[in-house]
């Protein structure tokens, strides 16, 4: 009996100490035809091990609470251990009382360039710049955790955004694109700085309203959940009045446009005229999708 108790306690302790992410990392090297493919396979294995076996925060996650996500590196050029890649980062969040997972973060980083030596150790340290590869993956790991936390608690992601900001600030010393203001207004620099800015607070409020107050209600009361979704989108509209065409507004709809279209194209009817007007105003690039809402 004593041994059984020890085993159970050990397993419970292990469960509460599990890493935050359940991440699939892929390295797509189909464009590269003049290099040994083993280096790309080794890189992919190393990244999967790094992301899934590193604790990026002090939070305790049970294994079934790990955040489902993916990182896909598409290699566009490779020479002398230098990789030019585009990095697609996506994450999902479970919806209460359902088997559905909602897309939270869907971002394409076109400046994810780095050097990597086959067999190189990858170690997490947010306070030092060891390589651009480590900084990139660590930055997005913290952003994934932060976005997820913001959907469960209003501004719950703040400490993880702050860690991502610290990583971005330290990484500027490496001289790689994406970490400073000169990298363009849709770079990693502006992604994390904007989300922590008081100016963009409606974005974070909308994240919480949309997921915790709307989607999590969907299984119990679809009509009320739809009404609350409309409220969340109206909150995002407040940001539009201050910052039209804001980067974070695009971030929101890159993840949510298909889901919103599907949500309001079936199920109990609600008044949608104001919703469609708001959507067309704040996200006109998705106008074809909004035209399907009825």
Q: Report, as an integer, the average pLDDT of 226-251.
A: 96
Give bridge partners of residue 82 from the DSSP assignment. Answer: 79, 115
For position 69, what pLDDT does the model report?
A: 98
> pLDDT digits over 138-177, tens only?
999 999 999 999 999 999 999 999 999 999 999 999 999 9
- Read off φ and ψ for residue 218, nearest 5 degrees: -60, -40
Name residue, tokens 């949500």: 263
> pLDDT digits over 254-294, tens only?
999 999 999 999 889 999 999 999 999 999 999 999 999 98
Strands 101-109 and 67-79 come out as: unpaired
State yes or no: pLDDT of 19 exceeds 70. Answer: yes
pLDDT bracket for residue 60 (50, 70, 90): confident
- How many residues appear in the chain? 294
> CA neighbours within 13 Å on the CB side: how many for 292?
12
Other C-beta atoms closer than 10 Å to the C-beta of 255 total: 20
For position 17, what pLDDT does the model report?
A: 57
Contacts of 216 (CB under 8 A, 6+ apart): 95, 96, 97
Compute the mean pLDDT over every residue in the chain, rounded to the nearest whole number.
93
CA 44, CA 49: separation in Å to the nearest integer?
9
Q: Report, as an integer, the average pLDDT of 174-192.
A: 93
Report the candidate in 267, 212, 256, 221 with the shortest Cα–Cα distance to residue 96.
212
> CA neighbours within 13 Å on the CB side: how many for 24?
7
Report the candidate in 59, 232, 228 with the shortest Cα–Cα distance to residue 146.
59
Cβ atoms of 133 and 117 within 8 Å: the answer is no
Tell me which of 9-23, 31-45, 64-78, 106-120 is least confident: 9-23
Q: Report, as an integer, the average pLDDT of 22-28.
A: 98
Q: Where are the alpha helices (DSSP H) in the chain?
A: 2-16, 38-52, 132-152, 158-171, 188-196, 201-208, 222-242, 247-263, 273-282, 287-290
DSSP 183-221: G-TTSHHHHHHHHHSGGGHHHHHHHHIIIIIIGGGTTT-
Strands 101-109 and 82-94 come out as: antiparallel
CA 205, CA 150: separation in Å to the nearest integer?
8
Report the candidate in 110, 170, 137, 169 with the shortest Cα–Cα distance to residue 53.
137
pLDDT bracket for residue 183 (50, 70, 90): confident
User: Which of the two residues, 59 and 86, has the higher pLDDT score?
Assistant: 86
């Amino acid at each position: 009996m004593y041994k059984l108790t020890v085993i159970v306690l050990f397993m419970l302790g292990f469960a509460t100490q599990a890493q935050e992410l359940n991440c699939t990392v892929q390295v797509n090297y189909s464009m590269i035809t003049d290099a040994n493919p083993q280096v790309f396979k080794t890189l992919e294995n190393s990244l999967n091990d790094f992301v899934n076996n590193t604790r990026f925060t002090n939070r305790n996650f049970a294994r079934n609470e790990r955040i489902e996500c993916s990182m896909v590196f598409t290699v566009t050029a490779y020479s002398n251990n230098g990789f030019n890649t585009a990095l697609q980062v996506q994450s999902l969040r479970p919806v209460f009382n359902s088997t559905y997972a909602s897309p939270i973060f869907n971002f394409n980083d076109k400046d994810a360039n780095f050097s990597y030596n086959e067999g190189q150790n990858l170690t997490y340290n947010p306070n030092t710049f060891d390589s651009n590869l480590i900084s990139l993956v660590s930055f997005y790991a913290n952003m994934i955790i932060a976005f997820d936390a913001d959907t469960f608690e209003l501004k719950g992601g703040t400490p993880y955004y702050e860690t991502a900001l610290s990583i971005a600030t330290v990484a500027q010393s490496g001289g790689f694109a994406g970490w400073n203001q000169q990298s363009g207004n849709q770079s990693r620099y502006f992604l994390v700085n904007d989300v922590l800015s008081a100016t963009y607070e409606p974005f974070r409020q909308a994240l919480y309203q949309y997921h915790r107050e709307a989607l999590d209600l969907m299984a119990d009361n679809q009509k009320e959940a739809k009404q609350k979704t409309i409220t969340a989108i109206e909150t995002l509209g407040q940001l539009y009045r201050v910052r039209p065409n804001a980067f974070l507004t695009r971030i929101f709809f890159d993840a949510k446009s298909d889901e919103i279209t599907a949500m309001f194209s079936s199920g109990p009817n609600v008044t949608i005229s104001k919703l469609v007007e708001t959507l067309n105003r704040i996200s006109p690039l998705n106008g074809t999708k909004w035209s399907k809402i009825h």
